[in-house]
Structure 1
């Protein structure tokens, strides 16, 4: 063979070797990347080639699958879609998925490796989709949804002993089944939802941090008792009325001018929601001590996963004393989600121990066999406060319901504690205030439930907005459903 031919042969052989190496690399190292690439139509075709597994509430599916006449053989369906959308999220042939539908997409469509049998591995067939069993109590969920009605807001109910989320409602809601397919009607439904100025797709229970108003006074009270600034909820404080914000001429007053707020003890200050007491208390403690207590409840933690990640609730650290005073009554730059305030109430109800909020009980394969079971977990370092502080706050919260601003939450046969809140909204408080209610109930048999409700817009006149009037009845309905007498 002459020299030019030999060179050409070697070059061609090198090209063949390179091509074989490239193909081997694609089929080996990169195969899973291409297989899982969302732009690969085979991924979507495979996902919808068989019925999806289901999301369960109380052991019953609130999702399903329906046949289609298209290339994507099945599409997702939802039972009581608007009721459970804040729990399930959505999965759409065109618009993807979110929340539980997204987090457990591999389990639901059968591609999770934990579902594969040896036969599935050999045939490269997808396993039957598995199921996601939630912690939601259908009665609690329905009670909260009905009570919120046409109000814009959210509510969360938790089992303090386990952290299980029993109810998670957000309104206005949406029906994920209306855009689960790929038809023009599905696309129209998506455009309608995403263009709605009321933002129905936002999960307000988890993802809408707002000023918590006077419900934050529970955090300040816990900090004062834990620090030893006051030894009891019945010890008088050193609180003028009105209270001049430090280094300013601004006088802070109370909503009820006749309330006995001057030097009031913590019990009385919670009963009448005395701004002056808790503003000065926050200043006396200092922002660092209040922040340390807030952090124990979950504030400033950007990784609270239920497993759906919650929006971060914030207690700011960079404040002067006047700002610290306002933060002590849940204003200035304080931000909290309903889930966060349910965590505060849950820790108080559970003797100071805060459990991590949990939305999923277990995962099962297509045959009902458990793949993963979620046990209760303690949040943080174990204790948000001492058992004594928790008992003191429970007692004071009971006074709020029995004799104070939270009377709308009373339930015959149950011991109920609560705290109302009305948070300022808009420049110079020009908007309609947010109404809050944070509470817990116990039945005398060791069963307890903690609830937080936020009403962002109750369609009420400004002077009619109150935590007791708007948010209290919603909390009452959920507590009554959780602990039926």
Structure 2
């Protein structure tokens, strides 16, 4: 009898060992594949079982969470969703996350280990921290001014603080309400399909994910290259620039819309946006200095994050002379995001130094303890300080007595550059209207805002398109709001 008991005990022990081995296999070896299995709803249930942390603008939440009482309990809500969609992105139970909702997901969802009260605390207790808070650098008044200024037209605005790199506004229109994508029902699937099939692409973040030919706003970069390289030593000296100008090695003639461009000085050509002068200037400066300067400004440099990734702007490093002439006036294959062109204006305003742009001021726990904080960081020196000073002067003259008069802000010093970018097969597309600028308040030592505006103007007549007419008034409204906001904050 004892022998049978021993055999039974050994068998039970063996079965118990087999269960333990299998449990270990399931929990250790197969855990990753089981967690990722589409049929496993536990991660989703856990993810949405508590409210998501908030994103703040001017210290106030522009997001929230609502209790649905369903298995996936909390859905994301948005205050002024279309206004802030290019900043927040969406947090959807069906389609994941984008932009800040994605880049700061660990903080907002409560999964970041830095939110735990003690190291390894959550590993021991299996607890989940409340979602943290993300405080942005966006100023509500500046964001509203940009959104209202575009008025629903296809386009984008980026505004930065030149001395720090803080992003003050990031707007893309037409926009959408990200709350329509928060849940998991049929209405969400229908909204997703409609938004993705819409011809005006409301979910496209034109400010940081769309590149455009920058047109004449790129002449800021060309002028910097010419001055830094010594191709131009005196901005007031006449140039040997014919009008029209025949592109090297071709029979194609480039013309000007402004008068007095033949042989015009750099200052006059910049003020009235003479294409012939700048096309020839790009060729005279040479491909090497042009490529080097473009890269110093941020072109051809991938990996920029704010913290969401920004599409790379592009200046072709392998051009013949005719192509270089067109690229020097922001055409051919030259492409830029609105944020990149805001950084070009910011470099002029900040003595040639480009500060790394950033969108998140700090992240905190739900009770206000700082998890991480951002601050100014120099990205690169785009040009010599003396060149930046000359460009500031020339940009000021563009607004005071040139093509950018519509951007003038009473009482403030404003510098700007207009641009009209051709595109499409045979340049048949309606041109894009550009304006880049910076503004300095009276008695302030330095400019407090730099802006880039692009307006696609898909429904406008070609004759009505101009950076000074369509984009400059938007930039003016943004700069006015930024200057008022800075005064109110005591900056």
User: What is the correspondence of 1:261-280 to structure 2 with a 5 Å cutoff?
Assistant: 261-280=261-280
For residues 359-412 of structure 1, the C-alpha deviation after alignment (integer angstroms, 9 at most, x for no partner) is 111111111110000121111xx3111111001001000111111110000010
Counterpart CA distance in 2 for 1:239 and 1:22 is 82
Counterpart CA distance in 2 for 1:395 and 1:412 is 18
Counterpart CA distance in 1 for 2:161 and 2:146 is 15
1:245 aligned residue (229, 244, 247): 247
Cα distance change of structure 1 residues 287 and 237 upon mapping to structure 2, 3 Å threshold? same
For residues 215-248 of structure 1, the C-alpha deviation after alignment (integer angstroms, 9 at most, x for no partner) is 0011000000100111232232221211111111
What is the alpha-carbon root mean square deviation over aligned residues? 2.2
**Number of residues paired by the alignment?**
473
Counterpart CA distance in 2 for 1:37 and 1:373 is 36
Q: Which residue of 1 aligns with 2:134?
A: 132
User: What is the correspondence of 1:17-166 to structure 2 with a 5 Å cutoff?
Assistant: 20=20, 23-24=23-24, 26-28=26-28, 31=31, 35=35, 40-118=40-118, 120-166=122-168
Q: Secondary structure at the match of 2:71?
A: coil
2:414 aligned residue (413, 416, 421): 416
Which runs of 4 or more aligned residues in structure 1 lie more than 6 Å from their structure 2 counterparts after TM superposition?
12-19, 36-39
Counterpart CA distance in 2 for 1:76 and 1:214 is 42
Cα distance change of structure 1 residues 21 and 441 upon mapping to structure 2, 3 Å threshold? same
Counterpart CA distance in 1 for 2:164 and 2:62 is 23
Shift of 1:439: 0.5
Counterpart CA distance in 2 for 1:269 and 1:58 is 41
Cα distance change of structure 1 residues 469 and 15 upon mapping to structure 2, 3 Å threshold? farther
Q: Which residue of 1 aligns with 2:175?
A: 173
Q: Which residue of 1 aligns with 2:324?
A: 324
Contact 1:233 1:393 (8 Å CA) reproduced: no
For residues 254-311 of structure 1, the C-alpha deviation after alignment (integer angstroms, 9 at most, x for no partner) is 122xx11122121111111000111011111122211110101110112111111111
Q: Which residue of 2 aligns with 1:7?
A: none
Counterpart CA distance in 1 for 2:70 and 2:287 is 60
Q: Secondary structure at the match of 1:416?
A: strand
Deviates more, 1:231-240 or 1:105-114: 231-240
Shift of 1:27: 2.6
Shift of 1:108: 0.7
Counterpart CA distance in 2 for 1:241 and 1:220 is 19
Shift of 1:48: 0.9
Q: Secondary structure at the match of 1:318?
A: coil
Deviates more, 1:342-351 or 1:120-129: 120-129
For residues 151-195 of structure 1, the C-alpha deviation after alignment (integer angstroms, 9 at most, x for no partner) is 100000000000000000000000001121112222222222111
Shift of 1:35: 4.7
Cα distance change of structure 1 residues 315 and 14 upon mapping to structure 2, 3 Å threshold? farther
Contact 1:233 1:396 (8 Å CA) reproduced: no
Q: Which residue of 2 aligns with 1:4?
A: none
Q: Which residue of 1 aligns with 2:454?
A: 454
Contact 1:283 1:325 (8 Å CA) reproduced: yes
Q: Which residue of 2 aligns with 1:288?
A: 288
1:441 aligned residue (439, 442, 445): 439
- Structure 2 residue 208 is the aligned partner of structure 1 residue 206: yes
Q: Which residue of 2 aligns with 1:5?
A: none
Cα distance change of structure 1 residues 13 and 470 upon mapping to structure 2, 3 Å threshold? same
Counterpart CA distance in 2 for 1:160 and 1:38 is 46
Q: Which residue of 1 aligns with 2:184?
A: 182
Counterpart CA distance in 1 for 2:361 and 2:253 is 50
Deviates more, 1:444-453 or 1:229-238: 229-238
Counterpart CA distance in 2 for 1:18 and 1:217 is 74
For residues 40-85 of structure 1, the C-alpha deviation after alignment (integer angstroms, 9 at most, x for no partner) is 4222111110110001111110000001031011100000000000
Counterpart CA distance in 1 for 2:157 and 2:63 is 22
Q: Which 5+ residue runs of structure 2 have no aligned equivalent?
A: 1-9
Contact 2:430 2:458 (8 Å CA) reproduced: no
For residues 111-155 of structure 1, the C-alpha deviation after alignment (integer angstroms, 9 at most, x for no partner) is 111112346443312101001111100000000000001210000
Contact 1:37 1:43 (8 Å CA) reproduced: no
Shift of 1:20: 4.8
Shift of 1:38: 7.4
